[in-house]
Amino acid sequence: MNHDEAVQLMTAEKYLLNELSPDVRDQFEEHFFDCMDCANDVRAGAVFIEKSKAVLGERPALVPARTPGTGHEKAGWLGWLRPAFTVPAIAVLLAVIAYQSLTDRVRPQVLASASLNISARGSASPAITIGKGEGFLLLVNITPSPGYSSYVADMYDPDGKLEWSIKIPASTTQDQWPVQVPGANRKPGNYSLEVRGISGSGESNVIGRRSFELQIGK
57 and 84 co-located in one domain: yes
78 and 37 co-located in one domain: yes
| pLDDT confidence of residue 206 | 94
**Residue 80: which pLDDT band, with cuts at 50, 70 and 90?**
very low
**Residue 81: which pLDDT band, with cuts at 50, 70 and 90?**
very low
Count of the separate structural domains present in the chain: 2
75 and 131 co-located in one domain: no
81 and 118 co-located in one domain: no
The C-alpha atoms of residue 145 and residue 115 are separated, in whole angstroms, by: 20
CA angle 103, 109, 114 (to 5 degrees): 140
Per residue, the 3-state secondary structure of 86-143, as one string, reads CHHHHHHHHHHHHHHHHHHHHCCCCCCEEEEECCCCCCCCCEEEECCCCCEEEEEECC
148 and 91 co-located in one domain: no
pLDDT tens for 93-132 read 566 556 555 555 556 777 899 999 987 776 678 999 999 8
Domain that holds residue 97: 3-106
| 16 pLDDT above the threshold of 80 | no
Phi, psi torsion values for 23, nearest 5 degrees:
-65, -45
Out of 79, 106, 133, pick the residue that ends a domain.
Answer: 106
